[in-house]
Chains A and B, each alone.
Chain A
Amino acid sequence: MTSTRTLPPAVVGPTPRQLRARLRQARRRHHPGSLGEVLTDAYVVVLFVALYGWFAVAAIRDHLAAPQVARTDPGDRYWIAVAAVTAGAGLVWWGLRLTGPLLVTPAAHAWLVSSPVDRRAWLLPRFGGLVGGGTIGVGLLAVAAAYAGGLDRPADLAWAALAGLTGGATATGWAVVAQGTAPTPHWARLPAVGLPAVGATIAVLVVLGHATGWSPPLPPVPLTPVVGLVLLPVALASTGSAYRRLPRVDRAALTTGAQFANAATTAAVLLDPSLLAALVESRRWRAVGLVRGRPLRAGGRFAVLLQAEVRRLARRRGALVGWAGALLAMYAVAVALPSIAGPAHLVLAYLSTGRLTGGLRAVSRSAGLRRSLGGSDTLLRLTHLVVPGVGATVWYLATLPALRPVPVALDAVLLLGVVTAAFWAGTRPPMRYGGAMVSTPFAMVPVDLVRQVLRGPDLVAVLVVVQLLAG
């Protein structure tokens, strides 16, 4: 029989380095992977990201230098870009908080991190990778964006790099500080809401100004040096604070992100994004917790299902915000980049309609749900197409003035095409494994995955071609 021992106050155990060595040693017994294999995989990924990244940057730069873009007001373009970067920063912050950003896998937590091992020392390599990767990654992204935007003087690119580096370090540092603070501080929730709100406000002002014939002037000094220099001490302070907070990152904070990372890994391994979406959905509803229930009015299957669909939508404010955000984005694109407003209109219409197809996706994914609801599958799917259809129509008509003053016959075709594409995407069946595989530069990919990913966007691509041909 094993016995229970009373521990002395001081805890003596292996160091994180010793513990990791022990884990590696045990794993190596089963699959002796070499460092060369890891480096080869990393090389392939870096090569493809750099290759396609360069193509994208060059294409955007060429497009922005084209005469039809150069004719638009530089002040409008500049401030719309500022709005997009600001809103994007808010979304990055939301992503960082969603994933931790520091995390350990559930297995590592259960068998290693739950022991008295020094937490700061255990998390330090991950922290270094996170801050280093975040800083360098955002720095590179900023340089690429600046170059794509037409800047090519070394000084301009250097200031963009500084803004990116300090922005990346600030975001990752404060995200770790927030993670290591219990209860979660109020300020940690602000950037995810505040930055997109600021970005939206800037975009609204530019769009309204454009409509009245006024364009905001370019700032007297470029913003990147200001942002870079202001954020420099903030970045250093946030990184230092985060380092000091590492021992305070608790199990709840580590495992919350780990659940997300685990789902993301499973989704990546099984090539099934719906696994990740299911977790995000579950988290969203858990945060709501309780809703006010009212009886649904009797009136036949169609009426009851429709009421339920409307009620679910009213509870998903994020979907409505996304729908409205796409509407603002359309007007912003029309002001800053009128040359791509037509295709952007179709893509944004598709994306905004997709935000309203939660019910359609739910009934299409689950045969059990369809059985319990009763009625034919066609009726169920068509019932859940009413809200997306109405939403798409309202969105399309509300954004049409950004393209042309009055609707033309083609608009009816395009609107119908957008609703059909949303229906096509929303009725994706669950992934089938074990089917045919296709060889890609990255790996063998199931044909069904390609079919799943393209289902919806393929129809939008056809609509874009139709629109371009129709002039």
Chain B
Amino acid sequence: MSTLAVRGLTRRFGALVVLDDVRFQLDAGQIAVVVGPNGSGKTTLLRCVVGADRPDEGEVLLDGRRCDETDPRVRAAVAAALDDIDFFPDLSVVEHLELLAYAHGGTAEPVAEVLAELALEPARDQLPATLSSGQRRRLALASCFVRPRRLLVLDEPEQRLDVRGRAWLAQRLLREKAAGTAVLMASHDTELIDRVADRRIEIGG
């Protein structure tokens, strides 16, 4: 059984059809990259998958069951870094990650390791307002790695990462894949796509 299945997904904004009958499946340990030109609906597709937006038609299945964001088991399984993440202005980087790990029933144990991996260790006590856009992006990505996950959804994760950051990202995605996580991501980075993707989902072509 596929970890993720999307069937007949359609999303309209008024009379504008952004997604039209999108279908695909994604197994555990697979990386699928959504590709398409600007405005083709990549972000909208990811938002519908994680429940941040409601499709007009179609369904999203997680392990063969309807992927309902109100189900705690779905929230426990799906980790996502989209472009709508926000931060508590009065909590530091490390406090954000510890809070999230705790909310998922875990401990602060993985936080130090993730901070080091994402080169956020020097910024661990900084407040979000003092972070650069690249550091904020890294913090958003870090939020996916301090918690359990079976499906990882990333919207253009390479954005605002420097060369070393992009190299790390490719390695990290391959490790996720090896660990059995299904990864669905949108990207414009052909080098990254060539390196990690098992399949491409073309939309809006």
Q: Name A's B-contacting residues (CB within 8 A).
A: 1-7, 9, 11-14, 19, 22-23, 26-27, 30-31, 105-112, 114-119, 182-183, 247-252, 255, 262, 286-290
Residue pairs across A and B with Cβ atoms less than 8 A apart, 15 shown, are A7-B77, A14-B102, A22-B102, A27-B91, A107-B86, A110-B85, A110-B86, A114-B75, A115-B104, A116-B75, A116-B105, A182-B54, A183-B54, A183-B56, A288-B15
Which chain B residues border A109 with CB–CB below 8 Å? Answer: 86
Taking the complex as formed, is B164 at the interface, i.e. its CB lies under 8 A from any CB of chain A?
A: no
Q: Is the CB of B103 within 8 A of A117?
A: yes
Which chain B residues border A286 with CB–CB below 8 Å? Answer: 13-14
**What 0/1 readout, one digit per residue, does chain B (82-122) give for beta carbons within 8 Å of chain A?**
00111111110001101110111100001001100100000
Q: Is the CB of A4 within 8 A of B75?
A: no
Interface residue stretch chosen among B32-40, B66-74, B154-162, B190-198: B66-74
Contacting residue for B104 out of A116, A250, A290, CB 8 A: A116
- Chain B interfacial residues counted at CB < 8 A: 53
Which chain A residues border B80 with CB–CB below 8 Å? Answer: 114
Shortest Cβ gap from B8 to chain A (Å)? 15
The list of the 3 closest CB pairs from A to B, nearest first, reads A289-B14, A289-B16, A106-B86
How many residue pairs link A and B with beta carbons under 8 A? The number is 138
Shortest Cβ gap from B102 to chain A (Å)? 6
Which chain B residues border A248 with CB–CB below 8 Å? Answer: 70
Tell whether A289 pairs with B15 under 8 Å between CB atoms, given A5-B148, A12-B105: yes
Q: Is the CB of A11 within 8 A of B176?
A: no
Shortest Cβ gap from B59 to chain A (Å)? 12
Contacting residue for B52 out of A4, A19, A255, CB 8 A: A255
Q: Is the CB of B99 within 8 A of A287?
A: no
**A12 — nearest CB in chain B belongs to which residue?**
B105
Q: Is the CB of B73 within 8 A of A11?
A: yes
Which chain B residues border A183 with CB–CB below 8 Å? Answer: 54, 56
Which chain B residues border A255 with CB–CB below 8 Å? Answer: 52, 84
Q: Is the CB of A287 within 8 A of B14?
A: yes
Q: Name B's A-contacting residues (CB within 8 A).
A: 12-16, 50-54, 56, 68-70, 72-73, 75-77, 80, 84-91, 95-96, 98-100, 102-105, 110, 113-114, 117, 143, 145-150, 175-176, 179-181
Which chain B residues border A11 with CB–CB below 8 Å? Answer: 72-73, 75-76, 105
**B79 — nearest CB in chain A belongs to which residue?**
A114
Give the CA-CA distance A105 to B180 in the complex, in Å: 32
Which chain B residues border A182 with CB–CB below 8 Å? Answer: 54
Give the CA-CA distance A288 to B99 in the complex, in Å: 39
Give the CA-CA distance A248 to B72 in the complex, in Å: 11
Contacting residue for A9 out of B15, B51, B73, B145, CB 8 A: B73
Shortest Cβ gap from B64 to chain A (Å)? 13
Which chain B residues border A251 with CB–CB below 8 Å? Answer: 50-52, 69
Further contacts, 19 of them, CB under 8 A, given A11-B76, A11-B105, A289-B12: A1-B175, A2-B114, A3-B179, A4-B149, A6-B150, A7-B76, A9-B73, A14-B102, A19-B102, A22-B99, A107-B86, A112-B99, A112-B100, A115-B104, A116-B76, A116-B104, A250-B69, A287-B14, A290-B14
Tell whether A7 pairs with B148 under 8 Å between CB atoms, given A2-B113, A249-B70: yes
Tell whether A287 pairs with B13 under 8 Å between CB atoms, given A111-B99, A183-B54: yes
Which chain A residues border B52 with CB–CB below 8 Å? Answer: 251-252, 255
**B48 — nearest CB in chain A belongs to which residue?**
A252
**A120 — nearest CB in chain B belongs to which residue?**
B70
Shortest Cβ gap from A1 to chain B (Å)? 7
Shortest Cβ gap from A433 to chain B (Å)? 16
Q: Is the CB of B87 within 8 A of A107?
A: yes
Tell whether A23 pairs with B179 under 8 Å between CB atoms, given A4-B150, A287-B13: no
Shortest Cβ gap from B144 to chain A (Å)? 10
